[in-house]
Structures are given as structure tokens and as C-alpha cells.
Chains A and B, each alone.
Chain A
Amino acid sequence: MNAAAADSEAIVRVEGLVAGYDGNVLLQDVNFAVNRGEVFVILGASGCGKSTLLKHMIGLYQPMAGKVLIDGEDIVSAQGAARRAILTKIGVMYQSGALFGSMTLLENVRLPLEEYTALDLPAMDLIARMKLKLVGLEAFCGHMPSEISGGMQKRAAIARAMALDPRILFLDEPSAGLDPITSAELDALIRRLAGSLHITFVIVTHELASIYAISDRVIMLDKRAKGIIAEGDPKVLRDTSDNPWVRQFFRREAEAPVETA
């Protein structure tokens, strides 16, 4: 695929999304698009609805209103085979890794292949080993998730999410709870995968260092606005945004800014 030509094309499009719990609206009329091949970061303070938005984008939660188009197909209304076809285009890494504890890393990565393809066992094993190699865990194929560290579990979870070569990878707080070195390694891995495999990344995080290192574009959510308060290049937002909440986030200021509006 020609990444440069495809850059302008939206692969994920969220239209008029209203989301919340038990009748309380957390996100009101959210609209944005993720372009093919970019590393797109959703950021914001705790409790602003980042993870909720992500879970709506991957079809785990049903929105109160609105659409989520993955490669042109609405994941909200799709059912049965159509929904499964959309799900093969996406891979998800959960905050805790969510590896299956009763399976080795190799078996974890092989599971989607076993369920979705007709490949024979040596072929699936090879694909799984190559995915683990991409995240630097080929030597740990036979280990159980409980036998490896938290950072390694997250990397293995990325390998599992990539098993079927999805076009889009959703990562929920990839660097949360990791040491700076492991976190930087994970950032480098994301950039490398985005560059070499042209995977589109949608990442939820609030780690500033990660945001600057990996993102092409960000949207910032805010609890008070119940939606997006800023969109664009994070460094530009940090330096030029006139929204006090955005400046506060990027400058890590504890004091709440003066109410301007």
C-alpha cells in the first residue's frame, strides 16, 4: 500500500457519538476521523471518557446515539458475519494485556489464527512466532503470561492483537504502569510497526512523553465539555493552544485555570 497516497483517507470515522452510563451522558456528539496509517492518540485527564470512547470504537459498548465507521462499515449496527468481518480488521490491546492465563504466549497469539483461518498447525505456529519476534518476545514462546513481566505481557498482547494482520490496532493505555525504559521501548515498537506495516494506531493514553514520541495527531477530551476540546499535533497544541484546560494538561499544572468563558 502506498502510505503517502492513502494518508488523507479516513479509516475510522466517529459520527455524532453520544455515550454514557445509566442515562448519564459522558460524551456528547463526538465527531472525528482517524486517517489511514497514522498514530492517533486520544488523551485527557482521568475520568474524561477516553477508555469509554475506545470501547465504543471497538464495538464493546453500544452508544446512545451515533455511528462508528471502521473502513466504511458501521460497527454499531453490524450483526453476525458482517460484524465479525469488521472485527478481523481491528486488533485490541487491553490495559492489563488480557492474555489468557491458561495458555502460553505462542498459544495466545495462535488462538485468532486457529479460529479464523484454515492454516495447518506448523503454519500457524510460524506466524505466531514471527509476531512474537516483532515485539521481541520470540524467546518466550513457551512461557505462561504469569511468568513474564508486565511490560512483556503488554508486548505479547500487541502480538496477539496483530495475529490476523489487522489494519487498525487499538491500544488502551499501553504505557500505564511501565518503567520509563520499557515505556520508551514500547513507543519505539509502535512507531516501527506503524512505519513498516502501515498499521493505523488508535491509542488511549495520558503519558505526555509517549504522546510526543508517537503521535501524529491527538484529540483531547474533557469532562466538562463532554467531548473534544482540542485536535491536532500535540507539540503545536502545547505551544499555541489558547484553551486554558489544554495548556494546563500539557504543562502539568495542578491548579485549575481561571474560568474564561
Chain B
Amino acid sequence: MNAAAATERSAPTAAATLTLADAADGSRVLTLAGRLEAYSIAGIWPEARAALVDAPTRRIVIDAAAVDYCDGGGVAMLVDLLRQPRSSGAAVAVRALKPEFQTLLDQFDPHAFTAPAKAPPPQTNAVEEIGRATAQLFRDMRVQVAFIGETTEALWYAVTHPHRIRWKDVWYECEQVGANALPIVALISFLLGVILAFQAAVPMRQFGAEIFVADLVGLSILRELGPLMTAILLAGRSGAAFAAEIGTMKVNEELNALTTMGLDPVRFLVVTRILAALLMVPLLSLFANLVGVLAGGLTMLSFNIPLVTYLKEVDSIVDLKDLMAGLVKTPVFALLIAGIGCLRGLQTETGASAVGISATRAVVSGIVLLVAVDGIFAVIYYILDV
């Protein structure tokens, strides 16, 4: 806290003054004058406290006859002086405070404020910490398994009773997750294509092998980068949005309202979002593939490779199997993004920061799981020789 800044921001007020004197009977006299309020007493408060501490064995008289005004702040200063521990015979007394201010002071018992305001936080030892963390981990796992179960059941119900699905909500979510994400997906995959092509073309040109950039860009975008980058983008965009929306609903007791209406929040909120993600993530990935490959082709124009040549080369090396190897992953990614976003939303606790925490957790765990699952797919494809 900067004193100058505080003075500048505070309302203009007259100063409060403190004068120290020693009386003939050996007591110390603190004479207060002026306006005692929170803005004016910052200077004299520590001084007055120090004057008390300096004279532990003498009687202290606080002469308040010249105090023109005293509000809660001023009263707090007097209470602070009165509550200081003193040896017997060295009491502190306030004298000649105007009656209207004395009434304010009389509302408080100074000694009620001597104890510390807060109990010290309970000490926990390392073993207890480990135990708590482990128990928490198991609770989290149980919640996650239960969520997977509930979601599967709700999805199965949706598949067997398609007329019960809230299609209006699904289309709305499709617009949010899919259509509205097109510009960012286009931009990122375009840049990805350009960067890949450019980074590869510079060294390959030394061997006159620029044309093989088409193979590299085509394979890596279709098999890996198109779907993965789209999924990571959506985890940041829609995963966080799901967690925040459902989290806010939980904080506002809208989830409780659904439950007491006999409506299952998972069926109502989670299924629609998962369906929207399942529909949109493959389409967005396909779109990202197209933009990425085209961006590579446009980059190769600056290396004197015509677009037709580039596309023919892509066509010769990439087949349907490669495209499908990428697209097969997208429904799994969609399940992860929407599932984790909704789960984190449902796990939201109370308070203003809780929604933010849920959104953060949705993005972090979403991205970690996406990359991990992509790795698992790579191993499976290797074993299956896809």
C-alpha cells in the first residue's frame, strides 16, 4: 500500500494531530486533535501505539478534548490504544472525548479484540496429506467412471429413442461448436500447411526434391495434424465453453431445478453436446485437411511448383486409407472434448472462481487426453500396419 497513492485517492480531509507530553504526576499525555477518520489517522496511529509501548510502566492519558470529529476509523484507533497489554498501575484512559463520540467508543470492549482474529490453520503432516490426496484421487476416479456410465446409458437411450433427443438444442450446439469455429479452424490449418510446406521445402530444395513436400504435407496433415489440431482447438474453444456453461448452471442451481423436475442433467445437457461434437468434429477435421493441403500447395507456388503438379503428387501418395486413418480418430476426439467439458462443468463447486477453475481443468485435461489418445492410435496403426 502506497501512502501517496492512498492520499491522492482519498477524500480531502483536515489533518489529525498527536502531541506527546509528560504530566507532573508522571503519566504520559497523548493529546489528539482534529478529525479522526480512516483517511487522516494513518500517520498518527503507529506513533501513538509506539508512545504506549515506550512507556510500559507509566499511566497513559489520551486527551481527546480537541477532537472535532471521530468516526469508526478514529474509534478503532482508540480501541487499539486501549487494548494494548499494560502492566498494573499503567492503565490507558481516554479523557474528554465528546459525548457523541464516546457513545461510539462505548459500543466496543477493547479487550474483546486482543485475541488474534483468525485461528492458525490446522497443521497437517505429510502422511495425512498423502492420504487425503490419494482418497481424493479415488473419489475423482469414481466420479469419472460414474460419469462415463451415465453418459453411455444416456447416449444409448438417445440412440434407441431418437425422437426423445432435444434436436433443437443439438442444432444450436452444432452451430456453436461447428459453424462458429470455421474461421479459427481455417486460419490455424492454413498457417499449419504454410509452415509445414515452407519448413520442409527449404532443406529439400538443396536436393532438388521440393516436389516431395507434397507427400510430406499431404500425409502429415491428413493422418495426424488436421484432426489433432482441430481437436485441440475445439478443446480450448468448446470444451471450455461447455464447462463454463454447465458450471454456471450448477452455480445458479439450474441443475438442481432439472433434477427436481425429474429430468436427468446428463441426458438434457451432456447428450446434446456430445452429439453436436460427434457431428461437427469430423466435418471440421475434413475441412482442416482440405485447407491445410491447399495452403501447402499455395506455398509451393513460390518454389515454382504449379498447383496441378502439387495436387497430382498428393493424389499419388495419399489414398483413402490415410484420410480414414485421420478421420477415424475424430469421433473419439469429439467424445473426449465434449465429455470432459461437460464432466468438469458438472463437477463445478460454489463461488465465482469455481467456473473459471472448471473451464481451466476442462482445457488442460482435454488436451492432455487428446494427445495421449492420439499416441495410442499411432501405436495401434503401427501394429495393424495401417
Contact = CB atoms under 8 A, between A and B. Distances in A.
Given A117-B38, A165-B37, A197-B104, A130 B45 contact: no
Contacts of A144: 351
Given A118-B3, A123-B45, A134 B38 contact: no
A52 B119 CA distance: 42
Nearest to B77: A123
A118 B104 contact: no
Interface in A158-187: 162, 164-165
A141 B6 CA distance: 25
Contacts of B112: 133, 138
Interface string B46-65: 10000000000000000000
A84 interface: yes
Given A88-B10, A141-B117, A165-B37, A127 B73 contact: yes
Contact of B38 (A101, A106, A164): A164
B242 interface: no
Interface in A193-220: 196-197
Main secondary structure, interface of A, reads helix
Given A113-B38, A133-B108, A126 B80 contact: yes
Interface string B100-118: 1001100110001100011
A141 B265 CA distance: 37
A101 B353 contact: yes
Interface in A85-137: 85, 88-89, 100-102, 104, 106, 113-120, 122-123, 125-127, 129-131, 133-134
B80 A123 contact: yes
A118 B73 CA distance: 12
A248 interface: no
B241 interface: no
Contact of A125 (B46, B117, B352): B117
Given A130-B113, A141-B118, A165 B38 contact: yes
A6 to B, nearest CB: 12
A26 B71 CA distance: 38
Given A101-B351, A142-B117, A165-B37, A130 B76 contact: yes
Interface in B67-111: 71-73, 75-77, 79-80, 100, 103-104, 107-108
B38 A129 contact: no
Interface string A139-158: 00110111000000000000
A258 interface: no
Interface in B28-42: 37-39, 41-42
Contacts of B350: 101, 146
A101 B12 CA distance: 32
B118 A142 contact: yes
Contacts of B80: 122-123, 126
Contacts of B104: 196-197
A120 B44 CA distance: 11
Nearest to A1: B100
Given A118-B1, A120-B46, A101 B10 contact: no
B349 to A, nearest CB: 8
A104 B71 CA distance: 24
Contacts of B10: 88, 116-117
Contacts of A115: 6, 9
Contact of A89 (B3, B11, B43): B11
Given A118-B7, A123-B42, 4 more contacts: A117-B39, A127-B76, A130-B72, A165-B71
Interface of A: 1-2, 81, 84-85, 88-89, 100-102, 104, 106, 113-120, 122-123, 125-127, 129-131, 133-134, 138, 141-142, 144-146, 162, 164-165, 196-197
5 contacts: A102-B352, A115-B9, A116-B6, A134-B107, A142-B117
